[in-house]
């Protein structure tokens, strides 16, 4: 199973590490399964940008970015080259080691976990 490390921009939140992330799950589903806060207004169907994250390591172990995802990332708060939507980051490799930064969620109005 893949290892996913979550770091947070929001002050006061400590790093969380998931050692049993299954191939075929999205990063958003991993957050849901492990009680990690990440907004997601559209329910994970690539129709908004509230589950915006930064992939710091392990991009090659995730499904490639689509044109639709790129369009929504352009609408995200503070997009960067390593920006992705968690709902579209499908884990492809059992041996993956992925590192994610979750942007500060305090200013986003949306569905909370």
What confidence category does residue 105 fall into, taking pLDDT thresholds of 50, 70 and 90?
A: confident
Does the domain at 2-102 match CATH 3.40.50.300? Answer given as: no
Q: CA nearest 100: which of 85, 110, 78, 111? A: 85
- Nearest 10 degrees: CA dihedral of 68, 74, 78, 81? 70
Q: Is it the case that residue 43 has pLDDT exceeding 90?
A: no
- pLDDT, tens only, 54-77: 999 999 999 999 999 999 999 999
**Domain spans of the chain, in order of start:** 2-102
pTM, rounded to two decimals = 0.92
What confidence category does residue 113 fall into, taking pLDDT thresholds of 50, 70 and 90?
A: very low
Question: Please, what is the Cα angle at 34 between 50 and 54, to 5 degrees?
Answer: 40
């Amino acid at each position: 199973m893949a290892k996913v490390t979550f770091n947070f921009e929001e002050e006061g939140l400590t790093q969380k590490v998931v050692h049993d992330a299954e191939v075929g799950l999205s990063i958003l589903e991993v957050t849901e399964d492990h009680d990690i806060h990440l907004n997601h207004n559209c329910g994970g169907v690539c129709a908004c940008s509230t589950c915006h994250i930064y992939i710091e390591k392990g991009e090659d172990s995730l499904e490639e970015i689509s044109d639709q995802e790129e369009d929504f990332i352009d609408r995200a708060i503070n997009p960067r080259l390593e920006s992705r939507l968690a709902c579209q980051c499908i884990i492809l490799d059992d041996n993956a080691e992925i590192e994610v930064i979750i942007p500060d969620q305090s200013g986003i109005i949306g569905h909370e976990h």
